[in-house]
């Protein structure tokens, strides 16, 4: 496990339950796509997701069109 992942998981333990559930769902989706060989994301999408996470940590909503698009790609039904 990377140090960056260890650090974010340690911080995530202090997040509100809804934010922890969001992170868990994101991880499950990435896992499903990795297992299926279909996972692809861009650095830009990851940056938008990081901004969304940081906003959630501050209790804000930072969702803009780019963040929504990134979530839609990662959480497609």
**Would you kindly state where each structural domain of the chain is located, as residue ranges?**
40-77
Q: In this structure, are residues 46 and 57 in contact, taking their beta carbons and an 8 Å threshold? A: no
Q: Is the dihedral of CA 54, 22, 59, 67 positive or negative?
A: positive
How many secondary structure helices (H) and strands (E) does the chain include?
4, 0
Q: Record the tokens describing residue 30, joined without a space.
A: 């990435």
How much is the pLDDT for 77? 47
Q: Is the dihedral of CA 56, 29, 27, 22 positive or negative?
A: positive
Tell me which residues of the chain have a pLDDT lower than 50. 77
- Mean residue pLDDT of the chain comes to 80
């Amino acid at each position: 496990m990377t140090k960056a992942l260890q650090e974010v998981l340690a911080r995530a333990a202090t997040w509100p339950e809804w934010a922890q559930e969001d992170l868990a769902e994101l991880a499950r989706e990435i896992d499903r796509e990795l297992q299926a060989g279909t996972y692809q994301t861009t650095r830009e999408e990851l940056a938008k997701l990081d901004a969304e996470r940081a906003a959630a940590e501050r209790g804000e909503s930072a969702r803009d069109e780019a963040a929504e698009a990134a979530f839609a790609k990662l959480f497609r039904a």
